Amino acid sequence: MKIGDKILIGVLLVISLISGYFTYYKAFNKTGTNVVIEVNGFKYQELPLNVDKTVTIHNGKHINVVEIKNGKVRMKESDCPDQICVKTGWIEKEGQQIVCLPNRVVVRVAGGKKGEVDDVVY
C-alpha cells in the first residue's frame, strides 16, 4: 500500500466520521415542543413544553403527577411499587418517553408540526 492510498483512506475515514456525527446530532438532539400524556393507550392530554405546569392523573385507584418545568418534563410522583418512572428523571428531547407500566401511563416528548415530513427519499 502506497502513501497516497493511506492518505486517501484517512481522509475518507475522517469525512465519514464527521458526517456520521452531524447526522446523529441532527436526528437525536431535537428539543421537543409538546408533551403527550397517554393513559391506558389513549391520549389523555397534549401540552406545550415551554409552559410550566403540574398535571395530576387519576387512573382508577392509581395516581401519577407529571411536572413540566423549564422546557423539560418528569414524572414527579407515582404510587407504583418500583418507582422506575420517577427515577427516569427529566426528559426534553423529541422521542424520549417515561413509562409507568403498572399504572399504564406514558409521558412522551413530541415535536414539529403535524403532517410535517422528516425526509424525502427519491
DSSP labels, 59-108? ETTEEEEEEEETTEEEEEEE--SS-HHHHT--B-BTT-EEEETTTTEEEE
> pLDDT tens, position by position, for the chain (122 residues)?
889 888 999 999 999 988 887 776 665 666 778 999 999 999 999 999 888 999 999 988 999 999 999 989 999 999 999 999 999 999 988 889 999 999 999 999 987 555 555 555 66
May I ask the CATH architecture of the domain 34-110?
A: Sandwich (2.60)
- Set of cell numbers at residue 48: 406545550
CA angle 99/111/54 to nearest 5° reads 55
pLDDT (0 to 100) of residue 79: 93
